[in-house]
Structure 1
Amino acid sequence: MEFAQVVFYGRLGKQALSMFNLDPQQWRGARVLDCPGGPGSLSAVLRADGFDVTAVDPLYALAEDSLKQRALADLDRAMGQLAGDPAIRPGFDLAACRQEHLAALDVFLADRRANPDRYIAASLPALPFADQQFDLVLSGHLLFSYASMADGGLMPAEGLDLAWHHRALAELLRVSRRAVRLYPAHTIERQARRHPFAESLLAELPPRWSGRFASTPYDQGHDGQTEVLELHR
């Protein structure tokens, strides 16, 4: 599976909680940033549970019709590549996966319509927020995923290189007061392994930050390690 650009691809909120290894009960009252939010329902799920949550994505600059069209086109592109891809475990239910994405998209669009000021058009490695503005920053399926295929990512050419990853992580840490979680911290392969960029970033954290790799119950159709990188101050 390969992509020439980052796809606008979202998941159900409950799936995102699983992949981030996140127990909402432990974060009551937290201010949360979802970056990139994509067309997923995590923000809506957390907001309904009383969280103060903001999502950012460069495509949030689009009007709703264009945003929906882009999400559906990228979903078709992704599903087409997943079908028969040797990186996906045999028997993985792609039809159910597609329906989950469509359900997430519907919830996302409704929540964006109701809370337009909480969906901000912005992108890494430069975010329009103050230092330590959020308690918890969640970033899924961007760092590591869109490295080059040679580095275990999805992009056939250069991809997002290690220098970009350092800048992006520095920005995520800048806007966080307490914690950052990155998923996946593993390569996009059938036998998933810990991503070398993730190991490099963990080894070079700035002062007062520490972190660890944690296993996650989220199943995205791969074998091997499926991990989230948890960083905290």
Structure 2
Amino acid sequence: MTRRKIQIKKIDSVTARQVAFSKRRKGLFKKAQELSTLCDAEIALLVFSSTGKLYDYASSSIQQVIERYDQHSAIQIQGKPSVDLQLEDDEKELHKVAVAEKTRELRQLNGEELQGCTLEELQTLEERLERGLSRVSKTKDERILKQINALKRKGIQLMEENRRMKQSLVHEQGQSSESIIVCSSSDINPPQDCYSSDKSLRLGLSLFK
């Protein structure tokens, strides 16, 4: 059964309002305690009920947190960085920490700055290096195989071009040989009409004689 969403507005019933206040106050203090423990945050909560009763929670001391707040407010009044600028500075600091951590990891992958590593960290680092080396070797083998296949295809194309060039050369040589044979035959055996013309000329000369 799903929980029914409660409309956020003032509870009219005094009894229901007191019950809701008690439950949500405990939940609020619990979340504040978790936030303080997980994030090392300094937290102070002050809650007054509708009857005027005070409830408070502090990760250290209510007085210390209030004094720190007063000091922070005074610094802001004096023209020091605002909350937005402070958040920007915090983001820059987090970025620096992240960059430093990544730089440290890269150096460790190169075999540097290993003196402070525990045995478990060294084993984890070794496993990362082995996985990375396996991926590198696999990629290298794939590239080599692609180059071999490309060279094979290129060799087949060259052989095919060479075969076509040979066939074309043989065909051209065959045509040249036929032309030479035809011309030689014409020189050796002149046409018959040449003989007939020569004979007619001789007969005409004999008649005039």
Query: TM-score range, shorter-chain basis?
Result: under 0.3
More helix by share: 2
TM, length-normalised to structure 1:
0.19
| CA radius of gyration, larger in | 2
TM, length-normalised to structure 2:
0.20
